[in-house]
Copies of this chain bind each other. A is one copy, B any other.
């Protein structure tokens, strides 16, 4: 039976006590981590969010009644204990309170507890579905608690930094206009306008630009965003952005304020000094050297373009790639020349999984011989030149991809990361930042058979490329930038177009008719008529940033109540069916399963 805490007042959290408190009478409250009898003494580990504290129940100190009650304690009972702090005879150096214990005088059981479906312990091995069904128990794990405490601190440091820099926190609405292109918008039916829908924002992009039009100068928000798409390992239907926008600035201003932010954040939260200025690399260089627009620069293994070296070879894979305008590139996996054939075959499969037709490999054995999937098609001269071009020595393994550049980068970029993973080349606490700049403004979509915006349609082209927007749109670079950390894009942004005529040109290149542009972005285009300042912005993905800072493996470990892969919440059992009456009021109906299925089959 749950007792009341009436008359009691907690004086300390568990680890707020130390040897300095010896002799004091204190009241502590929390959860029983474990409780066991040793001879005539009952030892109880009390847990709260601060840590663990040992309580001892001795009949001569707490009397028979409390002693008997203490004998009934089980894991996860919630208790309140009054007692005296005393030095511990058997010191435990593993916990901060290991030099003291509380000699209990009274005990109240504030709540009993059934045995939890899994133990509350660090680095739980419990199945995720069980953890997420009982997330309120999973959240008791000290590692998850530390993660969420760090997340809280990160948000606090961020807000204070940007406030001090003159950013205003402005809340933007989350019931906004649904746009025809918003295939990934979550929709929200409206009771007051049956048959009409709001959309939940994928980002506050247009609204923060309007705040610049409205003269707010510097805007900041930790904003909830939404995307209704298939969940990859590290995506959530709702996620959080650290979002900002600045007026009367150019690229350098945005980079400057954010480098100072990251420096402060890592210093205050991790005690780590980030060297600034942070390294920068153009998108083009990133792709050429790392096969990725978010390169992990904690290790080398850079891509080498060997197209020239092999251009006269008879190997048909290389030949046809080059003839089709592609390239042949490789990476040197140093010291892996003796990799067993089976593991190499697995790498070939991995490459295929990443879009390659195959993977050419060449192993330089320790004994000076080579083994290769394709050397038989090469002259000894070309093989030698190739090894030289790759900077390889005995004992190295060379992996080559030959295809369109896009595929080559994709395959070797992925292989490079996979090798680093297998060879454990990186440490999570080695934080290497990189600005990626000069992104292409547009990228060709095979699917839509038109150019689409690489960042978004409001991104400013680089002035020096403006004249190419009609003649060679794919070659126009954007004033866009990403900030990457250890192979993750943690933030990105751009200078925005603030000139009506450039914005119209951009929408035209993207295939918008005047009418469609007006329908979709009318309020923004209208706003641009009334005096819009030059402006630029950036947004961080907070979930990922926190994940990297706490060295977790998944953003689900830094979100209090995450959704699982099918976008459902196992704890609340959401989404779920609702009353027909509710839907009636919204002017909508659920389509019978058959009907939906038929449509799908059409």
- Chain B residue at smallest Cβ distance from A3: B499
Please determine whether A177 and B531 come into contact, CB atoms closer than 8 angstroms.
Answer: no
Taking the closest CB of chain B, its distance from the CB of A237, in whole angstroms, is 6
Contacts of A177 in B (CB 8 A): 569, 572-576
Partner-binding segment picked from A352-360, A384-392, A581-589: A581-589
In the bound assembly, the distance between CA atoms of A129 and B274 in angstroms comes to 50
Stretch at the interface among A178-186, A279-287, A435-443, A480-488: A178-186
Query: 0/1 per residue, A548-585, Cβ < 8 Å to B?
Result: 00000000000111110011110111111111001110
- In this assembly, does A106 line the interface, its C-beta being within 8 Å of a C-beta of chain B? no
**CB < 8 Å neighbour of A566 from B77, B192, B215:** B192
Smallest CB separation, A279 vs chain B (Å): 24
Chain B residues within 8 Å of A140, by CB: 214-215
- Quick check: is A345 within 8 A (CB to CB) of the other chain? no
CB 8 Å contact bits of A103-136 with B (1 = contact, 0 = none): 0000000111110100000000000000000111
Interface pair A156/B160, CB less than 8 Å apart:
yes
| Contact assessment for A531 and B112 in the assembled complex, using a CB-CB cutoff below 8 Å | yes
A230 / chain B contacts, CB cutoff of 8 Å: 192
Contacting residues, chain B, for A264 (C-beta < 8 A): none
Q: How far is the CA of A28 from the CA of B379 in the complex (A)?
A: 67
Q: Does A534 contact B (CB under 8 A)?
A: yes
B5 x A48 contact (CB < 8 A): no
Near B by CB (< 8 A), chain A positions 156-170 give: 156, 159-160, 163, 168-170
Q: What residues of chain B lie closer than 8 Å to A193, measured between beta carbons?
A: 566-568, 575
Given known A-B contacts A29-B533, A169-B152, A576-B178, A190 and B499 have beta carbons under 8 A apart: no
The smallest beta-carbon distance between A566 and chain B, in angstroms, is 5
* In the complex, chain A residues 70-89 whose Cβ is within 8 Å of any chain B Cβ: 76-78, 80
Whole-angstrom distance between the Cβ of A584 and the nearest chain B Cβ: 6
Is B590 in contact with A195, judged by CB distance below 8 angstroms? yes
Q: Which A residues between 1 and 17 are near B, CB-CB below 8 angstroms? A: 1-2, 4-6, 10, 13
Question: Does chain B have a CB within 8 A of A326?
Answer: no
Q: Which chain B residues lie closer than 8 Å to A228 at the CB level? A: 190-192
- Nearest CB in chain B: distance from A464 CB, A: 11
Instruction: Name the B residues within 8 Å of A205 (CB-CB).
Output: none
Q: How far is the CB of A101 from chain B (nearest CB, A)?
A: 20
**What residues of chain B lie closer than 8 Å to A522, measured between beta carbons?**
573
Proximity string of chain A (171-214) to chain B, C-beta cutoff 8 Å, 1 when within and 0 when not: 11111111010010111111111111111100000010011011
Bound-state Cα–Cα, A13 to B185, Å: 38
A184 to chain B, nearest CB (A): 9
In whole angstroms, what is the CA distance A155 to B221 when docked? 11
Q: Quick check: is A31 within 8 A (CB to CB) of the other chain? A: yes
Q: How far is the CB of A82 from chain B (nearest CB, A)?
A: 13
Residue pair A499, B576 in contact (C-beta under 8 Å): no
The smallest C-beta distance from A591 to any residue of chain B, in angstroms, reads 5
How long is the Cα–Cα vector from A574 to B571 in the complex, in angstroms? Answer: 32
Is A216 positioned at the interface, with any CB of B under 8 Å from its CB? yes
Of all chain B residues, the one with the shortest Cβ separation from A224 is B174
Question: How near does chain B come to A97, taking the closest CB pair, in angstroms?
Answer: 17
**CB-based contact B207/A248 at 8 Å:** no
| Alpha-carbon distance between A194 and B591 when the two chains are bound, in angstroms | 9
The answer to whether B155 and A169 have CB atoms under 8 Å apart is: yes
| Cα–Cα distance between A148 and B218 once the two chains are bound (Å) | 12
- Chain B residue numbers with a CB within 8 Å of A248 are 5, 10, 29, 80
Q: Contact check, B574 vs A78: say whether CB atoms are below 8 A apart.
A: no
Chain B residues whose C-beta falls within 8 Å of the C-beta of A47 in the assembled complex: 215
Q: Are A561 and B172 in contact (CB under 8 A)?
A: yes
Task: Tell me the minimal C-beta distance from A26 to chain B in angstroms.
Answer: 13
Q: Are B148 and A113 in contact (CB under 8 A)?
A: no
Q: Is A596 an interface residue (CB 8 A)?
A: yes
From the candidates B139, B174, B195, name the one contacting A214 in the complex (CB within 8 A).
Answer: B139
Chain B residues within an 8 Å CB radius of A4? 463, 534
Does A510 interact with chain B (Cβ within 8 Å)? no
A145 contacts chain B at the CB level, 8 A cutoff: yes
In whole angstroms, what is the CA distance A253 to B297 when docked? 51
Given contacts A152-B163, A575-B193, contact A589 B586 (CB under 8 A): no
**Complex partner residue of A48 from B215, B583, B586, CB under 8 angstroms:** B215
In angstroms, Cα B500 to Cα A122, docked, is 28
A599 within 8 A of B: yes
Task: State whether the Cβ of A338 lies closer than 8 Å to any Cβ in chain B.
Answer: no
A192 to chain B, nearest CB (A): 5
Q: With a CB–CB cut-off of 8 A, which chain B residues contact A567?
A: 190, 192-193
Closest 3 CB pairs of A and B: A113-B531, A139-B214, A196-B575
8 examples of A-B residue contacts, CB within 8 angstroms: A31-B215, A136-B214, A148-B168, A172-B561, A177-B569, A178-B574, A195-B596, A584-B591
Q: A145-B216, A174-B224 are in contact. List 12 more A-B contacts (CB 8 A).
A: A49-B216, A49-B217, A135-B214, A140-B214, A148-B170, A175-B226, A178-B575, A195-B596, A211-B560, A523-B573, A587-B591, A589-B589
